[in-house]
Structures are given as structure tokens and as C-alpha cells.
A and B are shown apart, each in its own frame.
Chain A
Amino acid sequence: MILILAYTQMFALDKESTLKIYTKILSSIFPTKKQINVYVPNREYYDILKSSNKLNVVDDIKKASIAIVTNLKELQSVKKLNKDIEIFATNEKLLFQDQSIVGAFYWKKGRSQLLFIKNRLDRYHIKLSDEYDKFIIEL
């Protein structure tokens, strides 16, 4: 199962906060994994996430459990390399554009937004804890 995380508004967070948020989100997606292999084509996020102890940023997409993309080009590239990889998007447009993206974290009117699409989570057998219920919608 592949989850793609997409983001567009990095300015909203500093490095430490970004790392903290993404570690928490990815840990909730993979609650049993001690270490999560992440594929991040974006250079800026690559540098941020690689400093995590919990996340293991990999260069080989085949070894990754999840991929994080920030735009359409990255999404297409990821899907080309591994069409089955779990996709999660932080960019709202990407989230609704591609059926394989199960969630996203992004900023709207200065407020952070975390959104998961229920049927896509189900498709990938992702079971989030109860605290994420309010972020899960059905389309």
C-alpha cells in the first residue's frame, strides 16, 4: 500500500514543526512500524524528514512504504516508478485530483488542514485512531 503525502505551503511551518507534524501523521498511518520508510522526491522536505529517527527517507521507491509529493509532476513521477505505492497529498487539489491519494496536510486561510478520504483509506486498509475521526470525510 502506498500513501502519497503532498504539500505546497512549507512557509507555514518551520523545520522542527514540520518534522513533528509529519512524524505524527505518518506514525498514525503506520502505528505498528518502528521505522517508516518514506520516499520524498522534493529536496526541501527530503532534508527535513531525513533528520527524523522514526522516519527513514529512502532513495529507492521500492523500499518505501509511503511517498510524499508536493506537485503534479512529483505525483506522476512517483506513480510511474511505483503505481501501487500509498499516496497521501498535502495539496488539496492533488487530493481531489487523484484517487490514489488518501490524505493531505495543507494550509487554508492561515489554518492547518488535515484531511483523509475514507474510501481511499479503506482501500489501503488504513485504520486511523479515533482522534483522527474528525479529519476523515466521505466523498
Chain B
Amino acid sequence: MKYRYINKYILILFVVLIAFVGYLQYSVMQNTAKLKAQEIAKTKEYATKIVQYIKTKIPDNLDKSLENTNLRDELNIILSTFMTEKYKYIFLLDKKNDKYYRFLLDGSTNNPEEFHSIFLPRSKLYDEVYKTQKIKLIKQKDDVENVWLSILAPVVYDGKTEALLVLDLSKKYGDYIENFNSPISNLVRLIQIFLLVSLLILSILFYRYYKFRKKILVDKVTQAYTKLSLEEFFVKRKVQNEYIFMIDIDSFRVVNTKYGYKVGNKILKEFVECIKNSIDDSKKMIFKIGGGEFVVIVPQKDKSLNDKANELFNRLKDKKYYIGDDKISLSISMSGMKIYDEMSLYKVLNILDEKLLEVKSRGKNSYAIIAEKDKESILYKDIDFIKQHLEDGQFTCLYQPIYDTRTKQIVKYEALVRMQDNDKCISPYYFLDVIRGTTQYIKMSKLVFQDIFATLKKYPHIHISANMHLDDLYSSDMMSMIIEQLFYHKEYAPRLTFEILEDKNIFDYNRVNEIFMHLKAYGSKIAIDDFGSGYANFNYLIKLDVDIIKIDGGLIKELKTQPHKSIKVLKSVKKLANELGCEVIAEFVSDEEIYNHMVEIGIEYSQGFYLGEPKFIQEYLD
């Protein structure tokens, strides 16, 4: 169950419960009404039977016949036998004149009414029954004691009403019927109270939650939404195809340090106001995701992403802030893109952040947008996309040949990893940094080594170079995997060279040498990649036991611009390497001119597009 649906489920549950309780109450009421109706019907039937009995006993001349005391007594006794617990009174009346009724019979054993004693009914129904000759029901009120309802049944002889039989159902019985379903009614009432209390508690909780939410979703200082709100916005987002901008106030910390946090907060507030005023769209959303970092989401309308970015950036850049007598403007860096369908917040922020770093590395106070055509590259940086491809084994190696410079014969291939997306081979530029340091990276490396060893197995005369990052050497998981691969394929290991890439200084040379020894123990060789660039320096040659030096492509490229100096440097590297017993490879040999230089300098091996591009191994060997 997704968390975001819980509120809906609770609401549905409550509605169902309320509906259920409503149904229960309705059912109980219906049931009670049905019981009453049944009881009334029974009583009417009962009254009709008593009337029929009287008529059987007295076929005609009712009034006259009842003057016979014996007959009257007999019928009174019979009437009393009709009186069960349900009935309070059963009596027979006749109408003396238009004014009043008289008792003819009385089934009560306790203080029975005397024959012909007067009875003045309050209800007009007595007269109506007398007239219409239809059985009627009177629901008694409080003015009639101990009687729930009365049935008035006419006693008709030859089409003429001679008397009225009154059958009173006792109040006690009425209460019994009324309370027949009281256990269920009480239960329903209890549930209603429970629901009411729950609703009350829920309302209070909701109110508190609403207050709390407001507190955590809106930044107190700027009134912009918080990062949490941004996450929620992405989860619940209904509007599609918005533009999103990441704006960072460059070195905002300096403002805080120089002018204090109070002024810093004031500037941030004004900054947010400026964003608001810059975008004429009520649906814009401004989120504060860091100290001086904001995300702005704007619905796409008539303006292009670039126009919108340009307008927003210029407004923010030109905005002046007054601090006492000082007037300052802020340097801002901004990145922007269109939000594509099904893009997660994590993905979007990653892309924007990367672009923002790019802007900052170019010198800040600028903006850059991620264009539509970059959509694919965005996709290739998506961790989920990479994960899925790793799970599907959609990774392969291309092989770039390394030539013997003198003979121009292939002596080795460098394995280069690629992610396969349909027919495309995606460069590691997109995905490597995304997965580095994760289990996905090890998974990918395993696939690479499996590919390399399969190739070595298939082509027994070739050598292959595999790239390894310096960090890989420090990763026990990674090294376990590599050693395991070497162990299982030890017969191929001597034809494998590990090219070590790194982007930072080695502090523990002993540890690195120890690892190299492990690799070399299987007969593999060690090459230092990018020699001559930032970190790959002469120290390596002194402290590390390497077999091959791969000269940095940057140095090779310099042959085009400063050939004399470059040749001298390359010659000295070559000489030094040879004296240390290392072979030298030159990469980025991109044309004949560079190749000829390599021949001239005497670099043993050359690699580059001039000699051969990275391809599937079959294209070189089959």
C-alpha cells in the first residue's frame, strides 16, 4: 500500500462505516416498523375473530339480547378469556345517540364497567368506524393510560353498525415491541458515538496535521515551499510538461558572513519576491532547497525554455539589494530543463545539479539549459535505466586495437565498456559516474570481465587491456570479484593488462603495490594510464611496479600545436620508461601526422582513431 493512498483509504473506511451504521439503523427501524405492522395486522385479525364470535353467539338484536344478564355474563367471561398479556382492555360499546356510547360488554375482570354505563370517547374515529364500518386503528397518546394502541372493529348486522369492539393493546406490550431491537439499537448507538468521537479526534488530528504540514512545507523566512513540499509536488504532480529551474545564489555564505543572518534572510525574502514577480503565472511554484538554492517550477506556455530562463535569469541578476547605504547585486547560477513524463525528482535534481556545476565551473553568474536533444543523455544517466540494463545484461565491450608502431600490427586490444540501448552503444561518460561506488558498479565490472575472458578464450592469440579505477583497488568487493575472475580464468590472465586510471594522489603506495602483486601473480600486466596528466606523475615510476606507461592523450594532442616541445617531452618519457624497463603506449593517435611522430620518437605502441576505432571484437578478428 502506497503511503499517499492511506488518507484516501481511511476516508473510504469511514464513509463505509458511516454507511454501514446508517444501514444498520435503517434496518433496525425497518424491522421495528415491520414488527409493529405485523402486530397490528394480528390484532385486527383478532378483533375480527372476536366480533365474529359475538355475532355467532348473538345472531341478531344485539342490544336487546344483551339485556339478558346471563348471556351478558357469559360473554363477559368469554371476552376476558380473549384478554392475554398483550391486551389491556377489550370491551363492546354501542352508540346511544349522537352524543355518547354505552358499555355493552367488558372483558376486564377487575372493576368491569356496568352494562349501559356511559363512555365518552375523545377520538372522532369511533364515530367514523360506526359510520364507515371499517376497522380502524388509534395510536394512543399520553392522555390514555397504559394503552399503546386501540383497534376499533364494527359489529355489523344487516348492514347496520350495532356496536363497536374496542381492543386495547397494552403500553407494556408496545414498549416490548418498541424495544425488541434495542440491543442492536444500543449497539448502533454505541457505534455512532464511537464514530462521532473518532471523527472529532480525526478532525483535531487533521487540524494539527494541517498546521504541522504548513510549518514543514513552507519556509518561515521566504514563504517559499520547502524541499519536502517539492518531493510531495512530484509525487502528486498532475500538471505535466513544466519547466524547472535550479537557481543557486553564488557564495551566499559570504553575504551571511559579511552582513549577518538577519540581512541574509531579508535578501533571501526579496530574492523570492523577485522570482515571483519575474514569472507571470499563478501556477508557478518556488521551493527553497538549500541555504541559497531554489527550485522554480513554471508551467509551459507560449515561451520557450530558453526565453523563460533568459528572462528569469536577467531579472534576478539585475535585482539590487539595499543594505544600509550599500547596494549589492547577487551572482547567480542557474540551470533549467523541461520536466519529461515519468521523471523522478531525484533524476531531475541530479540533472539540474550537474548542469549547475557545469555553469559554476565555467565561472558562475550564468545559466544553462538542458535542451530537448539532451533528453536521451538524461535518460542514460538515470540510475533506474542503468539498473534495468544491468539486470538484463545489456552491457558489452568494444575493443580498440593497440598497434606495434613500427610494424603497424595489432598487438593488443583495449576493452571499453558500453551500455546497449537497442542498437546504440552508450558511452560510459553517461553512466559510469552515476553508478561508481555502488553495487551496480561491481555488477557492471563483473559483466565486463566476463566479456573479456570470453573474448580471450575465444581468441587465444590476442591480448586485452582492461581499465580499472584506482578506487577499485581499494574496494574489497571489487578486488574479490577481480581475483575470483582471475582465479577461474587463470590460463587467460597472462594475456590481460590492467590499465589503472586515477584522479587523485596515491597515499598508500605499499597497499597499491601489494594489489599489483596479486594481479601480477596470475601473470597479468599493470599499465599506468594517462601518464603525464595531473596525478599520474614520475612518483609512480619510482614507487610502483608497473610494466607499461600509457602517455596521456593531452600530451599527444599537443603535437598538433607545439610539436617541438611535445616531441622533446615524449622522447624523454620514452627514454625514462625504457630505462625503467617499461613499455610505452601513445593514445589519441588520431591522424597520420601524429602516427609518424610516434614512429620518429620510437614509441613502441600506438592507439587511436587513425589506427582503429572501438568496435566489436568480431569486426577485427572474424
Query: Closest CB-CB distance, A32 to chain B, in whole Å?
Result: 27
Contact digits for B165-202, partner A, Cβ 8 Å, 1 yes 0 no: 01010000000000000000000000000000000000
Residues of B within 8 A of A135 (CB): 120
Using a CB-CB cutoff of 8 Å, which residues 78-137 of chain A contact chain B? 92, 107-115, 134-135, 137
Question: Is the C-beta of A72 less than 8 angstroms from some C-beta in chain B?
Answer: no
Residues of B within 8 A of A12 (CB): 145
Contact B99 A109 (CB under 8 A): no
CA distance A134 to B146 in the complex (A): 25
Contact A109 B118 (CB under 8 A): no
Using a CB-CB cutoff of 8 Å, which residues 84-104 of chain B contact chain A? 88-89, 91, 99-100
Contact A109 B122 (CB under 8 A): no
CA distance A110 to B122 in the complex (A): 12
Contact A137 B119 (CB under 8 A): no
Residues of B within 8 A of A137 (CB): 99-100, 118
Known: A137-B99, A137-B100. A110 touches B146 (CB 8 A): yes
Contact A110 B118 (CB under 8 A): no
Residues of A within 8 A of B145 (CB): 12, 107, 110-111
Per the CB 8 Å criterion, the residue count for chain A at the interface is: 15
CA distance A12 to B100 in the complex (A): 22
Question: Is the C-beta of B486 less than 8 angstroms from some C-beta in chain A?
Answer: no
Contact B113 A134 (CB under 8 A): no
Query: Closest CB-CB distance, B357 to chain A, in whole Å?
Result: 91
Contact B120 A109 (CB under 8 A): no
Residues of A within 8 A of B118 (CB): 92, 113, 115, 137
Q: What bracket does the count of chain B residues touching chain A fall in?
A: 20 to 34
Query: Closest CB-CB distance, A61 to chain B, in whole Å?
Result: 29
Question: Is the C-beta of B144 less than 8 angstroms from some C-beta in chain A?
Answer: yes
Residues of B within 8 A of A114 (CB): 120
CA distance A109 to B121 in the complex (A): 11
Known: A109-B89, A109-B91. A92 touches B144 (CB 8 A): no
Query: Closest CB-CB distance, B605 to chain A, in whole Å?
Result: 121
Known: A107-B145, A110-B168. A134 touches B117 (CB 8 A): no
Query: Closest CB-CB distance, A38 to chain B, in whole Å?
Result: 24
Contact B121 A111 (CB under 8 A): yes
Using a CB-CB cutoff of 8 Å, which residues 239-291 of chain B contact chain A? none
Contact B120 A113 (CB under 8 A): yes
Question: Is the C-beta of B147 less than 8 angstroms from some C-beta in chain A?
Answer: yes
Contact A109 B113 (CB under 8 A): yes
Question: Is the C-beta of B619 less than 8 angstroms from some C-beta in chain A?
Answer: no
Question: Is the C-beta of B392 less than 8 angstroms from some C-beta in chain A?
Answer: no
Using a CB-CB cutoff of 8 Å, which residues 1-48 of chain A contact chain B? 12
Residues of A within 8 A of B508 (CB): none
CA distance A111 to B122 in the complex (A): 8
Residues of A within 8 A of B143 (CB): 111-112
CA distance A14 to B477 in the complex (A): 96
CA distance A19 to B514 in the complex (A): 116
9 A-B residue pairs with Cβ-Cβ distance under 8 Å, sorted by A, are A108-B119, A110-B89, A110-B144, A110-B147, A111-B121, A112-B143, A113-B118, A137-B99, A137-B100
- B contact set with A: CB distance below 8 Å: 88-89, 91, 99-100, 108, 113, 117-122, 143-147, 166, 168
- A contact set with B: CB distance below 8 Å: 12, 92, 107-115, 134-135, 137-138
Question: Could you list 13 further interchain pairs (A-B, Cβ under 8 angstroms) beyond the known A108-B113, A109-B147?
Answer: A12-B145, A108-B117, A109-B89, A109-B108, A109-B119, A109-B168, A110-B88, A110-B146, A110-B168, A111-B144, A113-B118, A135-B120, A137-B99
